[in-house]
């Protein structure tokens, strides 16, 4: 059985949200602007670093960002979404050019590549943790992990310390015998400013978690991976009946399933809402992947 990093992150927010996303495999027909921005931004970065790895040409790789931007457009696109994508393209290219001298020192090794860690000590046979780092580079004799973020404001030191992605990826990659040094959070700020300069928009924040951070983050993830696997194996089709709503205003406000969750809490079967607001998600890791 495969349990992914995205499943764990969602489960930690709300078990009910996790069930909708990974049990029923639902996603909204119309994504939020922040989610659209994140998906598009990661796609543009993926296009750049794949091209840069394959050709070692910075200028050619920049052209691939423009090409990827073109594939994201459609004749029926909402003007607001078009504006968001256009501004995002400008800032992604601006970010890459601002850090060009740094990027040219990197040897790009893996772009959006899936890794799987067998959890051999798990009480559930065949349990595997799957994860897909945004970027893995090689520099100064070690691998380093890069995770892209598209925030309204840059994350502060406390927020960086609490983010789980870098410590989670470092621990898992080391379990696969990869020599990993540190991580970076690459942040492209989308806040609208009157006369912004590059340091106000772009940041490459180095993050080297200490041993306690690495051990605690991995321990917590390992426990939740097993909890999710237990739900799936123990309850099968009755998995839905075992999950709880978090009922937290901050979590619920940003949840893509709040309308469905509220309707079912009020006694509805949710069939009409599922039909009108959601489609089947194609996201996921499969057992046959290598």
Would residue 67 count as lying in a domain? yes
DSSP letter assigned to residue 152: S
In order along its 290 residues, the chain shows pLDDT tens digits of 899 999 999 999 999 999 999 989 999 988 889 999 999 999 999 999 999 999 999 999 999 999 999 999 999 899 999 999 999 999 999 999 999 999 999 999 999 999 999 988 777 888 999 999 999 999 999 999 999 999 999 999 999 999 999 999 999 999 999 999 999 999 999 999 988 999 999 999 999 999 999 999 999 999 999 999 988 888 876 788 888 899 888 899 889 999 999 999 999 999 999 999 999 987 766 554 33
The C-alpha atoms of residue 111 and residue 96 are separated, in whole angstroms, by 16
Q: Domain residues for 10?
A: 2-229
Would residue 91 count as lying in a domain? yes
Confidence (pTM): 0.91
Q: Is 206 exposed, middle or buried (0-12, 13-18, 19+ CB in 10 A)?
A: exposed
Number of structural domains, the chain? 1
What pLDDT is attached to residue 243? 87
What pLDDT is attached to residue 254? 86
Q: Where are the beta strands (DSSP E) in 88-164?
A: 107-111, 115-118, 128-131, 135-139, 142-149
Would residue 284 count as lying in a domain? no
Would residue 271 count as lying in a domain? no
Would residue 289 count as lying in a domain? no
Would residue 170 count as lying in a domain? yes
Q: Is 162 exposed, middle or buried (0-12, 13-18, 19+ CB in 10 A)?
A: exposed
Would residue 239 count as lying in a domain? no
What pLDDT is attached to residue 287? 52
What pLDDT is attached to residue 290? 34
Would residue 200 count as lying in a domain? yes
The C-alpha atoms of residue 208 and residue 244 are separated, in whole angstroms, by 35
Any idea what the CATH number is for the domain that residue 58 is in? 3.90.320.10
The C-alpha atoms of residue 248 and residue 234 are separated, in whole angstroms, by 27
């Amino acid at each position: 059985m495969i349990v992914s990093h995205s499943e764990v992150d969602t489960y930690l927010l709300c078990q009910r949200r996790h069930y909708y996303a990974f049990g029923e495999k639902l996603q909204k027909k119309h994504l939020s602007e922040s989610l659209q921005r994140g998906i598009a931004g990661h796609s543009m970065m993926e296009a750049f670093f794949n091209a840069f790895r394959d050709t070692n040409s910075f200028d050619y790789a920049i052209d691939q960002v423009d090409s990827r931007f073109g594939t994201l457009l459609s004749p029926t696109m909402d003007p607001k979404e078009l504006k968001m994508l256009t501004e995002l393209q400008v800032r992604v290219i601006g970010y890459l050019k601002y850090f060009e001298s740094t990027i040219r020192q990197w040897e790009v090794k893996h772009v959006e590549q899936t890794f799987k860690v067998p959890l051999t000590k798990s009480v559930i046979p065949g349990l595997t943790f799957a994860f897909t780092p945004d970027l893995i580079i090689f520099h100064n004799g070690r691998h380093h992990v890069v995770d892209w973020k598209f925030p309204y404001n840059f994350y502060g030191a406390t927020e960086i310390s609490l983010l789980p992605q870098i410590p989670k990826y470092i621990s898992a990659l080391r379990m696969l015998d990869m020599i990993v040094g540190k991580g970076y959070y690459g942040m492209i700020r989308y806040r609208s400013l009157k006369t912004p300069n590059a340091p106000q928009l772009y940041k490459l924040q180095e993050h080297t978690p200490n041993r306690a951070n690495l051990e605690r983050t991995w321990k917590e993830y390992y426990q939740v991976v097993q909890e999710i696997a237990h739900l799936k194996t123990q309850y099968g089709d009755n998995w839905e009946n075992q999950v709880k709503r978090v009922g937290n205003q901050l979590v619920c406000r940003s949840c893509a399933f709040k309308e469905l969750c509220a309707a079912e809490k009020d006694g509805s079967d949710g069939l009409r809402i599922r039909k009108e607001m959601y489609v089947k998600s194609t996201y996921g890791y499969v057992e046959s992947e290598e």
